Amino acid sequence: MSFTPEIYIQAKALTKQVQLTDSTLTILQHIDLTINRGDSVAIVGASGSGKSTLLGILAGLDTATSGEVYLAGQPLHALDDDARAELRARQVGFVFQSFLLLPSLSALENVTLPAELAGIKNATQRGRELLALVGLTERADFYPSQMSGGEQQRVAIARAFITKPAILFADEPSANLDETTGAKIEDLLFELNAQQGTTLVLVTHNPALAKRCAKQATMQAGHLTMAVAEVTSVA
Amino acid sequence: MWPNVAWRLFWRELKRGELWVIAFALCLAVFTVVSLSGITESVRSALAQRSANFIAADKILRSSLPFNEAIFEKAATLQVKSAKQMQFSTMVFAGDEMQLVSVKAVSASYPLRGKLTLRQHEAVDAPIVPTFSQGEVFLEPRLLQLLQIKAGDMIEVGVSQLKVAGVIAEEPDAPLSVFGNAPRLLMHVDDVAATEVVQPGSRIGYRYQFAGSDALLTQLETEVKSLLTLHDRWQKLDRESAVGSALDRAEKFLLLAGLLGIVLAACAAAVAASQYSQRHAMSVAVIKALGVTTATARKIYASHLSLVTLLSVSIGLALGQFASSSAQWAIVNWLGDYQAEFSSRPLWLGLLTAVICAGLFSARPIWRLAAVPALNVLRQRQQEWQFDIWHLATGAVAVWLLMWLFSGDLWLSAWLFLLCVAFAALLLGMAAVIVKVAKPMSAGQSSALRLALANLRRRLWPNSFQLITFSLALFLTLLLYFLRAELIGQWQQQVPVGAANQFLVNITEAEKPQISALLTKNQLTAGNYYPMISGRVLSVNNETLTEPDAENSDKAESENRDTANRDTAERKKGEQQADQTGTAANAETAERRRGIGRELNLTWLSQMPANNEVVKGQWFVDGGKAEVSVEVELAERLDLAIGDTIGFSVGGQQFSAKVSSFRKVDWNSLQPNFFMILSPDLMATFPATYLTAFYLPPAQQPLLNQLARQFPTVSVLSVDNILKQINDIIAQVSLALTVILALVFAAAVLVLVAQVQATLEQRQQELAILRTLGAKTVFLRRAVLAEFAALGLMAGVFATVLAEILLAVLQVRLFELPFSLHWNLWWIGPGLGMLLITGLGYLLLRKLLIVDAPTLLRRALQ
Ligand SMILES: Nc1ncnc2c1ncn2[C@@H]1O[C@H](COP(=O)(O)OP(=O)(O)O)[C@@H](O)[C@H]1O
Ligand SMILES: [Mg+2]
C-alpha cells in the first residue's frame, strides 16, 4: 500500500554560517531534507549541534546563508520577513521548550491568540474545545504564573493547534519538565498530532522520544543524517 | 485582528500592572513639570506682588515735571488703578522750632499696594486713623520731638497752616535706610499747591503709581509712550535691596529646581520605557513567531504606548494642576492680599513634556521592541539589550530643549545639561573601572558579601545606567537640599533673629551711661556707641569745591538718570538714594558728584565695623594719623585716589585728612553705616553725639515711650516694620523652597523605584536559581541588602562629589554667595544613598525573598 507522498517541506543544500568577530562559524553544512505531508520527523543530536537552527530555518523564523527551503510549495528563501510571517500564521504551529505563553493573558486567551491574530472567527469556542482536549477546562481563566510547567505546556500545545496548522514544529517540548510530566506532554502531542493529521517536526535530544516519530534524523556537527529509512505506513 | 488583540493586551497589562511603571513615569514627568512650573509661577507672582508692597504700587513712573493728567486718564480707561505722589524737602515751622523734612504728598488712593498705618499719637498702642483728608499732616514720631509739638497742634508748611493729625506708624514704601534722611511728613497732594512751596526750579519728584495685572500694565506702558518726555522714566523693581536680592535668589532656586525636576522625570520615563521593552521582548518574539509581521507588532505596541500616554498625561495634567492650584490657594490664604492668576503655561509645558518623553524616550525603545526577531523563541537566553546611542542622543537633546523652554535661559539650561551629560559619562567610565577592580577584591569575603559583589559586578556594566540614575537622583536632591539651606542661612544672616530694630540717635556723652542703665534694667543690651558729628567736605587735594545752584538742578536730575541706567552697581546707588530721600537725594547725588557734600555724618573709629571690607589701601594702623577711610562708591564719584587729601569743615573749624583706604559697605545690613570714617586723633577735640542700636522685643514696646519722656533730645528710629517685612518674605520663600524640595525628592524616589523594579525580573530568576541550589532566606536577604547598600553607597559618593562641585559653582556664579565647603554633605550624601536605596530595594524585593522556591522557579521560567 505504497503511494507517492506529497512533499511538504524540502530543503536543498542548506548552509548556515554566522559571522563572529574574527571567524566564521558554520552551524549547518549542506543539508538536504524532505518531509512529506503527514510525516512525523524527529531531529536528534547533542546540545549545540544545530537542531534549533535547522528548525528555525525550516519554520521560516530564520534564513539560511545559502540553499533553498520550500514550505507548502512556497520558496522560503525567496520570501521577505513579512511574507514568511503570513505563511507561518496560516500553516505553522509551534511548541517551545520554555512554553512561551504571554504572561498577561489567561490560558484561554493564550490559546486563542493565534486565531485572533489571523482573524479566525469562533476562536473562543475552538479554544475551549482544545483546552478540554488537553484536560485544562478548569484552568481556562488561569494566568501562566498560576499554572505548573506541565499545565503551561499543555496550554502551549492547545495554542499550537488552534489555527489548524498543516505543520507543527516542536523544539524540545519536554526538556523543561520532569520525566512523568514530560511523558504526558509527549503523549498529548502525539495524540493531537494524529487526531489533527498534522505534519510534525520534533527536535529532541531524547532518543526514546525520537523513536515515537516515523522518521529520525540525526544532527552532528552541522551535518544531518537520516537514521531510519521510510516507514511503511502513515497515520 | 490586531486591534482586538492590542486592546485586550492593553487592558490585561494595565490590570496586571505591566504598564504601570511606564504610565507612572510619564505621569510623573507631566506632574513634575506642571506642578513645579505652576508653583514657581505662583510664588514668583506672589513675590512680585509682595515686593510691589515695598513700593506701594506695581509700577511707578518717575518724573521731574508736574503731573500730566493725560497719563492718569489713559490708566483710568484701561482700568488700571493709579495714585499720585510728590516728594520734596522743605523746612517746616512750629512756634520757634524749625526742621528740614522730607515731604511725601499723596493722593487719597495711596497706597495702591501694602499697608499704611496712621495713629492718633506717638504711643505704640494709640488708636488707628483710618483715613486722612486735606488739611491734615502725619509726621514721623521723632519729628514731634524735634519740633516740640504734639498731635493736634498746627504746623506751617510753606505758607499753609496744617493740622498734625497723628503719626506714621507703618509706611509701605518707607526708605530701607535709617540714616541721612530728613524726617518724613505725609500730606495730601492737593494741599501742595496752596503751600506755595513748589516754585519754578524747585526740586520735586513726581511719581505716578499704578496697580493692575501685568498685561494691563504692559499695555499702559506702550500706550503712554508718546506722552513721555526725557524727564519721565519707569522705575524698575528694586532688585538690589535685601528683599530684592532674596526674591531674586528664590526665583533662581525655583527655576533650578524645575530644571532638575525635568531631568529626573525624563530619566524615569527612559528607565520605564527600556524596562518595558526588556520585559516584552519575548512576548513580541512569540507573537511574531505566531505569524505577526513587524509592522503589525509595531502597531500593537504603539497603540499601547499611545493609550498609556493619553491616560497618564491626563492624570498628570490633572494632578499637576491640582497641586499648583492648592499651592496657589495656600499662598492666597497666607498672603491675604495676593491675587492668584490662572496661567496656561504650566499646562502646555506639561503636554510638551509628555510628547517629548513619550516620543523620544518611549517611542524609540518600543520601535526597537517590535523589531525583535521571531527567531528569539528558539534561543534559550534572552537577547542582551543593546546600548542605543541614538536613543540616548535624541533623548538628551530633547531634555535640553525642554529645559530651555522651561527656563527661557539658554545659558543656564545648556550649562546644567552639559554637566549632567559629563556626569553620566564619568560614571560610565567609573563603572567600567570598578568592574575590572572588583573581581580580585571579592575573593576572601564572607559568602553573602561575595555573592552581592559578584551580582553587582555582573550587573554593573550592563546596568550602569541604573547607577547613573541613582546617582543623578541623589545628586539633584542633595544639590537642592543644600542650596536651600544655604539660601535660607544667608537670608537669616542678613537679618538675624534679635537684630537691632531700634536706633537711638543724638545721645550726649552724659546720657550714654544712663541709657545703658535703663536698657540693662529692662534686660536689654545696647550695642556700640558710635560717635557722630555733622561736617562738610570742602576740598579735594586743596581744590575747593563750589556750591551748586538751582539752575543746575535739571542737569543734575538727568545726570542722575544716566547714572541709573548704567551698570547694576551704579543703578543700585542711584535707585537707593533716590528711593530713600526723593528729590533731595537726587540733588544730593548730583552735588556729591561735583564734590560738595551737604551735611555729612562723620564718625571716627579705631576699629573697622564688622560688615565693612577694605577694598583698597589699608585700615588705620595704630588708630591712624589724620587719615580718612572712604566708602568705595563715594570715592569713585569724588574721583579719589589713595593718598589724596580731603579738607573738612566741622562746626566752623577746618582740617584735612589723607585718604588711606576705600571700604565696601553692605547697605542692606540695617547696621549703622558711614560714608567717611576718620581716624580718632582728628576728632577727639570735637563735641560729638552718639548713636547706638538695640533689639527691643515686641512685648517691651512701651519702653519706647519711656525713653522718649526720659531723654527728650534723643531720637528713636524704629526699623521694626522693615525687619518684619523682610522676615515675612524670607519665611514665605523658605517654605516655598521646602515644598519644592519635597517635590523633587519625591520625583527622585520614584526614579529609584522605577529603576529597582526594572531589575526585578532578572533578580527573580537569580533568586530562583539560588533557592534551588539551597540558599537560605537569611542568606539571600543579606546578599540582596549588601548589594543595594554597596550600590547606594557608590551612588551616594558620586552624587556627593558632583553636588559639592556644582554647589560651589552655583553659589559663586548664579547666587553670588561666598564659596564654602559643605562638610555635612560628605556624610549625608553617602548615608542617604545607602539608606534610601537599601530601604527601597528591600521593600520592593521583600516579596520575592519570602516566596518558596518552586513558585519562584515557576515564575522565573515563564
Ligand atoms: N546567531 C548566532 N551566533 C553565534 N552562534 C550561534 C548563533 N546561533 C547559533 N549559534 C551556535 O550554533 C550552535 C548550534 O546552536 P543550536 O541550533 O541552538 O543548537 P541545539 O538546538 O542543537 O542545541 C551553538 O553552538 C550555538 O551557540
Ligand atoms: Mg536547541
> Ligand 1 site: residues with CB under 6 angstroms?
A 18, 25, 27, 45, 47-53
Judged against a pLDDT cut of 60, whether residue B862 lies above it is answered with: no
Q: How far apart are CA B36 and CA B739, in angstroms?
A: 10
* Nearby residues of B596 by Cβ (< 8 Å), 6 or more positions away: B536, B537, B545, B546, B547, B548
Most confident among A41-50, B341-350, B406-415 (mean pLDDT): A41-50
Q: Are residues B160 and B26 in the same domain?
A: no
Rounded Cα distance between B295 and A43, Å, is: 33
Q: How many CB atoms lie within 10 A of CB B97?
A: 12
Per-residue pLDDT band at B9 (split at 50, 70, 90): confident
Verify that B713 and B799 share a domain, yes or no.
no
Q: Which atom of ligand 1 is nearest to the CA of A53?
A: 17
- Same domain, yes or no: B6 and B72: no
Residue A4 reports pLDDT greater than 60: no
Residue B30: pLDDT over 90 = no
More confident residue, B341 or B403: B403
Q: Is pLDDT larger for residue B624 or for residue B593? A: B624
B833, part of any domain: yes
Give the H or E element holding residue A161: helix A149-161
Q: Say yes or no to pLDDT of B761 above 70.
A: no
Angle at B541 between CA B536 and CA B547, to 5 degrees: 40
Considering only CB atoms, which chain B residues are within 8 Å of A87?
Answer: 291
Choose among A53, A61, A144: nearest Cβ to B862: A144
Closest CA in chain B for residue A81: B293
* Nearest CB to A85 within list B12, B18, B293: B293
* pLDDT band for position A1 (cuts 50, 70, 90): very low
**Residue in B5, B8, B291 closest to A89 by CB:** B291
Q: How many CB atoms lie within 10 A of CB B407?
A: 19
A101 and chain B: CB distance < 8 Å anywhere?
yes
- For helices B760-772 and B853-860, angle between their N-to-C axes, nearest 10 degrees: 130
pLDDT at A165: 92
Are the C-beta atoms of residues B29 and B312 closer than 8 Å to each other?
no
Mean pLDDT of B355-379: 83
| pLDDT > 80? residue A121 | yes
| Residues around the ion ligand 2 (C-beta < 5 A) | A 52
pLDDT band at B181 (very low <50, low <70, confident <90, very high): low
Indicate the top mutation candidate among A53, A58, A218 to test ligand 1's pocket, ranked by most ligand atoms within 8 A of CB.
A53
- Given a cut of 70, is residue B660 above it in pLDDT? yes
Segment B562-592, tens digit of pLDDT:
322 323 333 333 333 333 333 333 444 444 4
Are residues B329 and B205 part of one domain? no
Residues B430-439 have a mean pLDDT of 66
Q: At B670, phi and psi to the nearest 5? A: 55, 35
| B660's grid cell | 588711606
Listed range (A74-78, B257-261, B500-504, B537-541) with the worst mean pLDDT: B257-261
Q: Give B298 Cα–ligand 2 centroid separation in angstroms.
A: 28
Cα distance between residue B276 and residue B757, in whole Å: 10
Q: What is the mean pLDDT of chain B?
A: 77
Q: Are B557 and B586 spatial neighbours (Cβ–Cβ below 8 Å)? A: yes
Q: Do B286 and A102 touch (CB under 8 A)?
A: yes
Looking at residue B458, its pLDDT comes to 65
Let me know if residue B414 belongs to a domain. no
Give the tens place of pLDDT for each residue, B241-258: 555 666 667 777 777 777
pLDDT exceeds 50 at position B686? yes
- CB neighbour class for B333 (10 Å; exposed up to 12, middle 13-18, buried from 19): exposed
Q: What is the pLDDT of residue B835?
A: 92
Does residue B595 carry a pLDDT above 80? Answer: no
Cβ distance A148 to B858 less than 8 Å, yes or no, reads: yes
Interface of B with A (CB under 8 A): 1-2, 4-5, 8-9, 12-13, 16, 18, 282-283, 285-296, 373-375, 377-380, 858-859, 861-862
Each residue's pLDDT tens digit, A164-197 = 999 999 999 988 888 888 888 888 889 888 888 8
- The best mutation among B378, B380, B381 to test binding of ligand 1, ranked by most ligand atoms within 8 Å of the C-beta, falls on B378
State which ligand 1 atom lies nearest to the alpha carbon of A47.
23
User: Which A residues 35-74 touch B at CB under 8 Å?
Assistant: 52-53, 55-56, 59, 61-62
In this structure, are B92 and B39 located in the same domain?
Answer: no
Which of A123, A122, A97 minimizes the C-alpha distance to A110? A123
Is residue B115 pLDDT above 50, yes or no?
yes
B381 with B490, same domain?
no
B498 close to B861: Cβ distance less than 8 angstroms: no
Q: Of A125-139, B205-219, B406-420, B735-749, which gets the smallest average pLDDT?
A: B735-749
Specify the number of domains making up chain B.
4
pLDDT digits (tens, 9 = 90+) for A21-73: 889 999 999 999 999 988 899 999 888 899 999 999 999 999 999 999 999 88
Residue A226 has pLDDT above 60, yes or no: yes
User: Of B670, B691, B721, at which residue does a domain stop?
Assistant: B721
d(CA B584, CA B182): 9
User: So what's the pLDDT on residue A192?
Assistant: 87
Look at residue B593 and tell me whether its pLDDT is greater than 70: no
Among residues B696, B721, B746, the one where a domain terminates is B721
Tell me, what amino acid is at A114?
P
B557: in domain: no
Sign of CA dihedral B730, B735, B736, B737: positive
Say which range, B634-638, B692-696, B857-861, has the weakest mean pLDDT.
Answer: B857-861
Ligand 1: nearest atom to the Cα of B380: 18
Q: Would you say residue A200 has pLDDT above 90?
A: yes
Give the DSSP H or E segment for B98.
Answer: strand B97-106
The domain limits of chain A are 7-226
pLDDT at position B705, please? 77
Helix, strand or coil, per DSSP, at residue B133:
coil
Q: Does the pLDDT value for residue B642 go beyond 80? A: yes
Of the ranges B15-24, B204-213, B569-578, which is most confident? B204-213
Q: Residue range B547-551: average pLDDT?
A: 40
pLDDT-based confidence at residue B229 (cuts at 50, 70, 90) = confident
DSSP state string for B500-537: --EEEEEE-TTHHHHHHHHHHHTT--B-PPEEEEEEEE
Alpha carbon of A115: minimum distance to chain B alpha carbons (Å): 9
d(CA B703, CA B502): 11
Q: How confident is the model at residue B670 (pLDDT cuts 50, 70, 90)?
A: low
Cβ B294–A113 below 8 Å, yes or no? no
B420 domain residue, yes or no: no
Model confidence at B557, pLDDT cuts 50, 70, 90, reads very low
Considering only CA atoms, which of A170, A135, A126 is closest in space to residue A154?
A: A135
Residue B848 has pLDDT above 80, yes or no: no
Position B151 in a domain: yes
Specify whether B84 is located in the same domain as B203.
yes
Q: How confident is the model at residue B337 (pLDDT cuts 50, 70, 90)?
A: low
> By residue range, what is the domain housing residue B489?
447-495+722-861
Measured CA to CA, the distance from residue B252 to residue B263 in angstroms comes to: 17
Question: Of A142-151, B364-373, B408-417, B540-549, where does mean pLDDT reach its minimum?
Answer: B540-549
Instruction: Say yes or no to pLDDT of B544 above 60.
Output: yes
Q: Give mean pLDDT, residues B404-416.
A: 79
Strand ranges (E), B651-791: 653-665, 676-678, 689-694, 715-718
Q: What is the pLDDT of residue A227?
A: 63
Measured between CA atoms, how close is B772 to chain A, in angstroms? 15
Cα of A53 vs centre of ligand 1, distance in Å, is 6
Query: Nearest-CA residue of chain A relative to B854?
Result: A148
What local confidence, expressed as pLDDT, does residue B467 receive? 75
pLDDT of residue A171: 92
Q: Which residue has the higher pLDDT, B587 or A18?
A: A18
Mean predicted confidence (pLDDT) in B462-470: 70
Concatenating the DSSP letter of every residue in B264-312 gives HHHHHHHHHHHHHHHHHHHHHHHHHHTT--HHHHHHHHHHHHHHHHHHH
| Grid cell at residue B420 | 549632567
Percent of chain B with pLDDT strictly greater than 90: 8
End of a domain among B200, B228, B256? B228
Q: With contacts defined as CB-CB under 8 Å, which chain A residues touch B374?
A: 61, 85, 88
Q: How close, in Å, is residue A166 to chain B by CA atoms?
A: 14
State mean pLDDT over A190-215: 88
- Residues B730, B705 share a domain: no
Q: Is the same domain home to B523 and B641?
A: yes
CB B365 within 8 A of CB B273: yes
Are B336 and B371 in the same domain? Answer: yes
Which CATH number does A7-226 carry?
A: 3.40.50.300
What residues in A contact B283, CB-CB < 8 Å? 102-104
pLDDT at B453 over 50: yes
Structure confidence at residue B175 (pLDDT):
61
What is the SS3 string spanning B530-546? EEEEEEEEEEECCEECC
**Residues B336, B391 within the same domain:** yes
Asked if B377's CB is within 8 angstroms of A61's CB, the reply is yes
User: Are B170 and B117 within 8 A, CB to CB?
Assistant: yes
Does the structure show a pLDDT above 50 at B594? Answer: no
Least confident of B224-233, B485-494, B791-800: B485-494
Q: Whose CA is nearest to atom 24 of ligand 1?
A: A48
Report chain A's mean pLDDT, rounded to a whole number: 88
For chain B, what is the largest distance between any 2 Cα atoms, rounded to a whole number of angstroms? Answer: 110
Q: How many residues are there in chain A?
A: 235
Q: Residue B560's pLDDT band (boundaries 50, 70, 90)?
A: very low
* pLDDT above 70: residue B598: no
pLDDT digits (tens, 9 = 90+) for B777-786: 777 788 778 8
* Alpha carbon of A187: minimum distance to chain B alpha carbons (Å): 22
